[in-house]
Structure 1
């Protein structure tokens, strides 16, 4: 290993900066300085064998006035008395950041600490944990603290985020900084349980109004289609959809609900008495889970025959355990082999809510039994197969 050079010392000090340790030391309870640096010096044998190199090395070390260098005098029986460098240390933070060219950043962070200590001292912990991230958002810091102060003073505001009125802060600023606010708010709003807070449920967890979720559906029974008007394609807010069953004709007639992930399949779904089709939402079923009357329906899910299709079916069954799959079987898959495609990023996790036949087909897909990353998209299934499957349901043979 080569002896320590001024370049080595600077490189190690930069690592301390890049790890946040130097800035973190401002807020640390115990003294961080002087900070010893790694130092490799010549041993006794090298003094003899490489004396000229050692002299040049000593001169190079002495030529640099920073950091602090420790020296030790060695008495050698051949070389006599020689004073050589034996260690190095950073004496204090201010001189270190000047040496590294980080003085302006250090001043900026110090100002952030002063401001935070005055207006939101609970967030000093966040600054200590994320000093470099803090520097990245220094220009936004005062506005972030204004948002946090507003949330602190307005618990459960029951308004839309757009209605928050804070000087110099707009809605897009809050939207853009949700991830940061999620990190900071539990330190400030300590009286609230924010363990589930994340960027996706930000408004809901903090008591804001949220945009309604919508359910798009078609009534497949000709006797029911004109209850809601002449059109056949309806979209209702989830709360209104929950109340749909209160209409007497629907309450007494509706028995079957189909969920499909493809819009064309949704629009062209065959007519069927006592039935409705819902345009699905991939992995999102929370809005349907709130619709209690769906538990009294025969629910059928029609998705792609691929690993994600079965994963979505598995998730839907977590909300509605009696869901049956439609056209997601081995017979349908093999009958449409000319339309097989490729699933870009297959699932491999264990699914706990599949039937025996579904689990068998899922494992065949995971194991690439037929071909690599097989997918049969639902819109590739022949319409005659769809009509046949619906007819079987209508005749009560499935």
Structure 2
């Protein structure tokens, strides 16, 4: 008999490994936690056939002896008879059985883990039956968070019982819990809160990564930074520059008639004087910050961004919110006049941009298709300042 045939016979270690795979999927612990009666578990054993018994009786006997002497004591063996005229009838193991949870824990050597899981589930049940049910359905996640379980359960309970509108995550008052703890464990906390909070308490439109928004906590307010460019800007007389909450600015329109949205901070600070106008620092988030300002549709909005694919993408999004937005210094002539200042755009976009004018679309496609060179980019801070002044002189 070829050696490889004997190597294919099921060993006690093979049988235990099969059961361990199912344990690590959590199915045994889930059934145990749910109080379901254990169904005896039988594992078919691949052993010697009658022909293999005759071909190498010593190997077959060694296999039987391994099962009888080295198997875990909690494994019960079921036998069958095989043989023939040459070697006679022989009893060999046909199936290994586990008859109960305790036997299974003993075979796998997981008694301590099971005991710990039981205590964790009981702790959750003392706070909320829904949390206990989550534990039963997710035993391995429960065990993976065992060291922090007490604080996780207490945090979920506090949010369920003590939360009120306007609270920040910082105000969760649980021993050992701070903002860093919540941020580090927001994934598991989001899962726990999904089962123990009423559906109306969860904003499912907010991504799970945004813990505060998803669970009704106040977030750091969006601020918009505005600089007066001349008389009639609408800022208080004592201030040349202010930062205000977007939500408050939405209800208090400025009297300026022209708004220059600038992505680069130094360009924002150095922007030349323009009557009845302000500069707004976009900082890459211009659309998101300005979107709530409905009254801005009634003003003249001029956007100045980098000449690259993402700069045009931001411009397109600006026009989706403020259709009359004009671009400034984002044209082919400006690009070609500053060839020595070109850099490489790290990750160009190839998205369709419906909010561009024909001239802007043509330049965007040239950049996208590398007509002027690979991933060409002209950052706005690299444009010579007399070009800025000339364009503004024309706008005036």
C-alpha contact (below 8 Å) 2:303/2:325 kept by paired residues: yes
Give the 3 Å change call, closer, same or farther, for CA 138–334 of structure 1 in structure 2: same
Structure 1 gaps, min length 5: none
**1:264 Cα shift?**
1.3
Deviation at 1:74?
1.0
| Contact kept? 1:182, 1:198, Cα under 8 Å | no
2:205 equivalent to 1:196: yes
Question: Structure 1 residue 100 and structure 2 residue 108: aligned?
Answer: yes
CA positional deviation for 1:188: 1.5
Distance 1:85 1:290, change over 3 A: same
| Structure 2 counterpart of 1:209 | 218
Q: Is the 8 A contact 1:161 1:203 kept in 2?
A: yes
**Pair 1:17–1:282, CA change in 2 (3 A):** farther
Give 1:27's match in structure 2, choosing from 33, 38, 46: 33
Q: 1:55 aligns with which of 23, 47, 61?
A: 61
Residue aligned with 1:3, SS: coil
What is the TM-score of this pair, normalised by structure 2? 0.84
Find out whether 1:154 has 2:156 as its counterpart: no
Q: Distance in 2 between matches of 1:284 and 1:81?
A: 85
Match of 1:219 among 228, 233, 249: 228
Question: What do residues 81-103 of structure 1 show as CA deviations (whole Å, max 9, x unaligned)?
Answer: 12222233444333333433332
Q: Structure 1-normalised TM-score?
A: 0.84
Corresponding residue number in structure 1 for 2:96: 88
CA 1:139 to 1:76, structure 2 compared with 1: closer, same or farther past 3 Å?
same
Which structure 2 segments of 5+ residues have no match? none
Aligned to 1:18: 24
Determine if contact 1:33/1:93 at 8 Å carries over to the other structure: no
1:1-398 alignment runs, 5 A limit: 2-28=8-34, 31=37, 33-37=39-43, 39-66=45-72, 67-192=75-200, 194=202, 195-199=204-208, 201-221=210-230, 223-224=231-232, 227-229=235-237, 231-245=239-253, 250-251=254-255, 254-283=256-285, 285-394=287-396
How far apart in 1 are the matches of 2:122 and 2:349? 50
Alpha-carbon distance, 1:36 to partner? 4.0
SS at match of 2:167: coil
Cα distance in 2 for residues equivalent to 1:37 and 1:326: 74
Q: Which SS does the other structure have where 1:26 is aligned?
A: helix
Report the count of equivalent residues: 387
Cα 1:337/1:5, change in 2 over 3 Å? farther
Change (3 A) 1:227 1:124: closer
- Distance, in Å, in 2 between the alignment partners of 1:209 and 1:273 is 38
In 2: Cα distance, 1:358 partner to 1:58 partner: 81
